[in-house]
Structure 1
Amino acid sequence: MSEHRAQRLLETRHLQRPQEVAEILQKHFRTPFHLVTQQGSVRLSVSPLQADQLEHTHLSLPETLQIDALLAAKEPSVHAISAENAVLAIPMGNRITPFALCGIIAASDANLSIPLANMVVENLKCKQEIASRDSQLDEYASQVTRDFEELSWLRSLAERPELWHPQNDLQNIASVILPPLCDVLSVEAIFLFVTDTQTGADTLAFRAGETEVRDHTMMELVGQFADQIVEQPVVRNSNSLHRGWQDLEGIRSCALVPIANNSQRFGWLVMVNKLARPDADCLADLSPQLREFGTFEAGLLQSAGLNLAAHASNLQSFRQIEDLVVGVIRAMINSIDAKDAYTRGHSDRVAAMGRTLAAKLGLDPQEQHDVYMSGLLHDIGKIGVPDSVLGKPTRLSEEEFAIVQRHPEIGYSILKHLKQLDFVLPGVLHHHECFDGSGYPHGLAGEEIPLMGRILAVADAYDAMTSTRPYRNGMPRAKAEAILRAGAGEQWDTRIIDAFMQCADEMYSICQVNRQHPTLLLSDRPSNDAAWDEIDVAVNLSLSK
């Protein structure tokens, strides 16, 4: 048998045990043992003995010894070749690759050789089984560790519901969940790509981990799948990188999963370059299997993709509801403007001043937006006031004024059926209450009046006093501010009047700018109009509560 063929056979797992058996038998019988196949024999490369320790250096099998019978035997056997010597043959191959260990021993050792050979083989077989079971235990322990890490990571997602708040986009969530996922999966980096639902273009939105792979390389990789429908993870290791992948600089292995739901793709998650686990032994760097992505890594990355896809789908539904509510608000405000041209812009000004007062009073951003939204809708009840009364060019009679006084309750009755807007109701219903209890519709006094109502009462009064009506001109700024000061503690909350005076210049500016440029806020607004963007933000925050 050629040296090359023998070496290939010696490198197979079948020869791990024969190699050890030959080592032991050589030391006992002081003779080399050879690997015998149908093609011939070769001496095993075991620890050499000194020449004076060897009784036989060559293997010479008699012609009468049938090689096929020797290889087919299931037990060790001894075959005499002279009065002094015999051949000890130990079959150790299998049906596909039959081979035997053969060595020349002294005839006097023949009786003990077979029990010894059996004992050596069985002993090494037990050692191998123990080693195999130890290896399995290590693998099971490693699997349990991976499962625990996976469950811990998934539990961390479930224990942080704030992650899935509608205000959080995929990039914000990825910044929280992907860095620990890099550690769990032992990868260099994980990349988030977001897909534009209109154009289908993929954009790199976030990267976790450290890698030398450049962003443009990742863009090139994802670009290979831009026009494809991918439903399952795509895994490529160093031994499976097809042409094209190999040209991507720095990528040894990678896995890609779609962030998709109901055939709509929202983006991609891509991980690159598997690292040896920290608990791996020192040979980890030499083992390709420890540097490859398998079902564990691909499955957990897919779990992350599914979570992100569910959130992206929810965001899409939320945006649709948001657009609907914003449209309703726009229609309501425009309907008021259409009925009362002289108060055009009034709701915008009250909303802006109310938000400024809320900020001055130390309310948090969410409460400021709530006040802003309530200010936009505070006069929605005027839809129910007859045009003849609302547009009367002269002063109202007592009966007509009583009709106008109904608008807070009308507005409340309109909006109370819109659950997404129930937070604006206190301002809509109570912006005409007075701090001393003389207001309407319920005659509440002091802090019985919701704070939102007290804030809007001041903003509404200031804008009404400084606005020009058909029957009178708007008051000068100084006179209106003097009236507010005089009414502090009676008609209005003193604390809110104090806050108003601290930002009186800003209030004046809000009113002046809007009155000089009313179409800026109240014309048919394009989608990128700043004023309506503000409404969109407010609705977004309010709906997501």
Structure 2
Amino acid sequence: MSEHRAQRPLETRHLQQPRKVAEILHKHFRTTFSLVTPEGAVRLSVSPPSSLPLVDADGGLPDELQLDALLAGKEPTVHVISAEKAVLVIPMGNPIKPFALCGKIAASDINLSIPLAKMALENVKQQQQLASRDRQLEEYASQVTRDFEELSWLRSLAEMPELWHPQNDLINIANVILPPLCDVLSVEAIFLFVSDAQTDSDTLAFRAGETTVSDHTMNELVAQYAGQSIDQPVVRNSNSLHKGWQDLEGIRSCALVPIANNTQRFGWLVMVNKLAQPDAVQCSDLSPQLCEFGTFEAGLLQSAALNLAAHASNLESFRQIEDLVVGVIRAMINSIDAKDSYTRGHSDRVAAMARTLAAELGLDADEQHNVYMAGLLHDIGKIGVPDSVLGKPSRLSEEEFAIVKRHPEIGHSILKHLKQLDFVLPGVLHHHECFDGSGYPYGLAGDEIPLMGRILAIVDAYDAMTSTRPYRDGMPRAKAEAILQAGAGEQWDDRLIAAFMRCSDEIYSICQANRQHPAELMNSCHSQEAAWDEIDFMVNLSLSK
């Protein structure tokens, strides 16, 4: 018998098939089968319940058996060692890792041993194939489930078109889409960072889920990649954390995806710590794949980032268009100011008074804003009136007044080409129509006159009557209000005149405030926003419809 050297135990994966074969043969031969390696040592007793040596007290093989020859075989063999006993040897390894299952059987079982051994091997092989197919089916089922969850989540985004409204920023959208994404991906939390191109900084703007990872730690994590150009998900699991990651407290695994297009990065999405399955106490008890982020998690997080990047890019384009339209409006209003200093204060007051009257009538916020904008622009057509007429210090002749009467149509022709401002056209065109049909430019009567035009007609007349002009002083408040009441039902809508009188104190205050500070654009009595902010808001609202 050769002297045997100690050897490190075989890996668990090497023992699975021999153990099952040994269990089958043990039922037939009622003997112990052991696993033998090239070193000749009895490596493991694989037959339950006891661990007995193959033969001999020292646990070695019989001297007449050549270990190398046994392990080199490819088929089960039987070796008679006495009149009563034989050794059944079943090679089960490979040239790199040879080993054999050996067991002592009775001589009377020799004829059955080889067929039984082959049957056991085939049985175990089939069981392993079935187990492998079961695992594949489970993987396929798991993949189908993940695909279904991904499609369901993506479909939910498509079914919420209002989510991608231009007035919705990334934080509002993240508040809707990231919490359910945490559930789909089974992660502790997902963080949204928003980038500021001017300051070259990233700010934690929103977090979904619950985690012990601190905001400070997340800021450190994102800072590692802030200066890098990254266009694919960065995934780090516990077995791949490079230097620096180990110092980030509470992070077992994470994935980081840029929210970016070809030219600009708008922020980051970061998810941390894969959650354990419901039936597992700790993530460490599970297979590593179940505790780590893979292509599914990274891919779906990237889908969310791409959607956010597309929206952020659209917001940038929207803001550029908005700035352009606001610039056009400012240029228009400034051009009126250049022609007639009276017009600026007049348009400011008409806009503010018109919104106050609209609120008194119960119009909603959008309609109030529309009326306000129409008030600012109602006299834009005076750009087409000659300076000699517009700035005449005395009363106008009939011919001159006929020229002035063209300004509603001129204003309409100027603004009609700006689709984003088409909501002001009824007010611009019809603010000089009379309720009885005697006004201009079209002589509309009653409800034929758009409501916006009827509102502007009243506040425009009130401001004209109470304003001081080079050729006359402004009327006292009481006299102007008396004239409005006298013309109710004829020149002006009587229902609107009644509403005007109910809020006349507020309207009077608007006029007084503006006349005391004529160089300033009016602030709304209902809001602290400056008029330019109001214009910005209205353009934004119009463009987003």
Contact 2:42 2:60 in 1 (8 A): no
Among the aligned pairs, what percent are the same residue? 80
Q: Could you list the runs of 5+ residues in structure 2 that have no partner in the other structure?
A: 523-527
Counterpart Cα distance in 2 of 1:274 and 1:415: 57
Contact 2:45 2:51 in 1 (8 A): no
Aligned residues: 536
Deviation at 1:342, TM superposition (A): 2.4
Residue by residue, what CA displacement relative to the aligned partner does 1:217-248 show, whole Å, maximum 9, x if unpaired?
11111111111111100111111112211111
What is the match of residue 73 of structure 2?
A: 73
What is the match of residue 525 of structure 2?
A: none
Deviation at 1:173, TM superposition (A): 0.7
Paired residues for 1:39-188 under 5 Å: 39-46=39-46, 48-49=48-49, 60-63=60-63, 65-188=65-188
What is the match of residue 246 of structure 1?
A: 246
1:35 match: secondary structure: strand
Contact 2:351 2:375 in 1 (8 A): yes
Cα 1:469/1:98, change in 2 over 3 Å: same
What is the match of residue 376 of structure 2?
A: 376
Counterpart Cα distance in 2 of 1:164 and 1:52: 72
1:5 is matched with which residue: 8, 22, 28? Answer: 8
Residue by residue, what CA displacement relative to the aligned partner does 1:115-173 show, whole Å, maximum 9, x if unpaired?
11111222122222222222221221111111111101101111111111110010111
TM-score for the superposition, normalised by structure 1: 0.93
1:147 match: secondary structure: helix
AA aligned opposite 1:374: A
Contact 1:56 1:104 in 2 (8 A): no
1:440 match: secondary structure: coil
Counterpart Cα distance in 2 of 1:185 and 1:52: 50
| In the alignment, structure 1 residue 206 sits paired with structure 2 residue 206 | yes
Deviation at 1:49, TM superposition (A): 4.6
2:41 match: secondary structure: strand
Counterpart Cα distance in 1 of 2:454 and 2:57: 110
Counterpart Cα distance in 2 of 1:195 and 1:188: 23
Paired residues for 1:416-455 under 5 Å: 416-455=416-455
Please give the root-mean-square deviation of Cα atoms over the aligned residues, in Å: 2.3
Counterpart Cα distance in 1 of 2:424 and 2:358: 14
Residue by residue, what CA displacement relative to the aligned partner does 1:182-238 show, whole Å, maximum 9, x if unpaired?
111111111111111211211111111111111121111111111111110011111
What is the match of residue 414 of structure 1?
A: 414
Q: Could you list the runs of 5+ residues in structure 1 that have no partner in the other structure?
A: 523-527
Paired residues for 1:249-264 under 5 Å: 249-264=249-264
Contact 1:358 1:455 in 2 (8 A): yes
Counterpart Cα distance in 1 of 2:230 and 2:316: 21
Cα 1:514/1:72, change in 2 over 3 Å: farther
| In the alignment, structure 1 residue 313 sits paired with structure 2 residue 313 | yes
Q: Select between 283-292 and 156-165 the one with higher mean Cα deviation.
A: 283-292
AA aligned opposite 1:286: D
Q: Which runs of 4+ in 1 moved over 3 A?
A: 1-4, 45-69, 280-285
Q: Select between 192-201 and 92-101 the one with higher mean Cα deviation.
A: 92-101
AA aligned opposite 1:234: V
Residue by residue, what CA displacement relative to the aligned partner does 1:42-62 show, whole Å, maximum 9, x if unpaired?
242445456999987775434
Residue by residue, what CA displacement relative to the aligned partner does 1:451-500 show, whole Å, maximum 9, x if unpaired?
11112112212221111111111122222222222222222222322222
Counterpart Cα distance in 1 of 2:51 and 2:348: 106
Contact 1:73 1:91 in 2 (8 A): yes
Counterpart Cα distance in 2 of 1:330 and 1:448: 31
Cα 1:434/1:94, change in 2 over 3 Å: farther
Cα 1:267/1:531, change in 2 over 3 Å: same
TM-score for the superposition, normalised by structure 2: 0.93
Paired residues for 1:293-372 under 5 Å: 293-372=293-372
Contact 1:372 1:538 in 2 (8 A): no
AA aligned opposite 1:125: K
What is the match of residue 493 of structure 1?
A: 493
Counterpart Cα distance in 2 of 1:357 and 1:67: 106
Counterpart Cα distance in 1 of 2:141 and 2:49: 42
Counterpart Cα distance in 1 of 2:479 and 2:465: 9
AA aligned opposite 1:5: R
Counterpart Cα distance in 1 of 2:349 and 2:5: 97
Counterpart Cα distance in 2 of 1:405 and 1:122: 104
Cα 1:90/1:431, change in 2 over 3 Å: same
